[in-house]
């Protein structure tokens, strides 16, 4: 999970808990992160933003709510994102997309 590790090197101070491979029934999100602001993020990590990652983030948000009764903000952490897919994810689905350069 090199991409997640690079993200945490940059933004790790914003979070007080990070659980990788967070189980959601038969599925598993790449991470669940609890921010110091008390927001929870359900995370998908991909090298490049794609349709599948967007669908996974939406599904993980639903499954997290179904299992915990709490809403988590979906986040996709990636190395590269096209403008069109990033806008679709953010504006249409409320997914936070974070591009992280290699460190």
Q: What is the CATH number of the domain that holds 58?
A: 3.40.1350.10
pLDDT for position 90: 96
Token representation of residue 79? 């190395």
> Which letter, b or e, does each residue of 13-25 get, where b requires 16 or more Cβ atoms within 10 Å of its Cβ?
eebeebeeebebe
Number of domains in the chain: 1
pLDDT for position 55: 97
pLDDT for position 103: 78
pLDDT for position 1: 77
Q: How confident is the model at residue 102 (pLDDT cuts 50, 70, 90)?
A: confident
Q: How confident is the model at residue 81 (pLDDT cuts 50, 70, 90)?
A: very high
- How close are the terminal C-alpha atoms of the chain, in Å? 13
Q: For residue 65, what are the domain limits?
A: 2-99
Model pTM score: 0.95
Q: Is 14 helix (H, G, I), strand (E, B) or coil?
A: helix
81, 99 in Cβ contact below 8 A?
A: yes
Average pLDDT on 79-97 reads: 96
pLDDT in tens, 32-61: 999 999 999 999 999 999 999 999 999 999
Distance, C-alpha 1 to centroid of its chain? 13
Average pLDDT over the chain, rounded to whole? 96
Count the neighbouring beta carbons within 10 Å of the beta carbon of residue 92: 10
């Amino acid at each position: 999970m090199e991409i997640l590790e690079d993200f945490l090197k940059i933004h790790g101070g914003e979070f007080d808990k990070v659980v990788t491979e967070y189980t959601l029934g038969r599925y598993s999100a790449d991470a669940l992160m609890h921010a110091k602001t008390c927001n929870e993020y359900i995370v998908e990590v991909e090298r490049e933003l794609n349709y599948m990652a967007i669908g996974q983030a939406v599904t993980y948000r639903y499954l997290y709510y179904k299992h915990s009764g709490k809403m988590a903000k979906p986040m996709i952490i990636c190395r590269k994102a096209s403008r069109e897919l990033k806008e679709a994810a953010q504006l249409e689905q409320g997914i936070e997309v974070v591009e992280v350069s290699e460190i």
